[in-house]
Amino acid sequence: MTKVFQDLQEWMSFRGSAHFLNKKVGFVPTMGALHEGHLSLFRKSLSENDITVGSIFVNPTQFNNPEDLKKYPKDLEKDLNMLSQLGVDFLINPSFERIYPDSYRYKVVDNEISHDLCGKHRPGHFDGVLTVVMKLLNLVLPNRAYFGEKDYQQFLLVKEMAKAFFMSVEIIGCPTVRDETGLAMSSRNERLNDQQKILAADFARILKAPSSIESAQEKMAESGIKVDYIKEKWGRRFGAVHIGDVRLIDNIQV
């Protein structure tokens, strides 16, 4: 049974106990609404570490759209059952007030990588991501932390942040997990209706097709998909789109 900590003082006291002495600790930060993509990260941590810690915290500071935050899917009971079945040792599930006792006065800001792609279209998003990830890494003090490559820009930013601040943690990127249609697993997929799921699969298929960026944009527009961007960078093709009021991202190697 996964043991849950909501009180961060209690967690920090426990983290400093003999239970963790000479143990390798893996960490998987999430916002809940867990799916097979998340579970693949937990499985990797469980296979590589003595103790695996997860977190579920829907972080308001990374949402530039209040409606997106309000509609973000939540099912803590289901998530806990999944983690317990996997054998995850501990879960941190704090409130906003416990994670942000400073009310977000202090933040981590990147002045390069975050200015493109999702950062360009979601002002302040990566400030919130980096700030909460640094807080969580400082709380868990893991040897390894696992991030999915679907959010490849986020993975790069966290990896560079850890390096810049001399943090003793290895940031590990893990391959994107897809459903049978090729759509990248995402908590936001839960908000798609049947017709929108077809469009979402079209997004993944068109992004992967060996065609020009201009051609991909045209095909998506013809399908009724609203494109934020399609861009090639870091040896990958990135895409972000809106299907109804749901924003999806993906990337593939090129």
**Which are the catalytic amino acids?**
38
Q: How far apart (Å, rounded) are the C-alpha atoms in residues 231 and 187?
A: 23
Bridge-based pairing of strands 236-243 and 3-5 is unpaired
Task: Provide DSSP, the chain.
Answer: --EEE--HHHHHHHHTSGGGTT--EEEEEE-S---HHHHHHHHHHHHH-SEEEEEE---GGG-S-HHHHHH----HHHHHHHHHHHT--EEE---HHHH-TTTT-S----SSGGGSHHHHHSTTHHHHHHHHHHHHHHHH--SEEEEEGGGHHHHHHHHHHHHHTT-S-EEEEEPPPB-TTSPBP-GGGGG--HHHHHHHHHHHHHHHSSS-HHHHHHHHHHHTPEEEEEEEETTEEEEEEEETTEEEEEEEE-
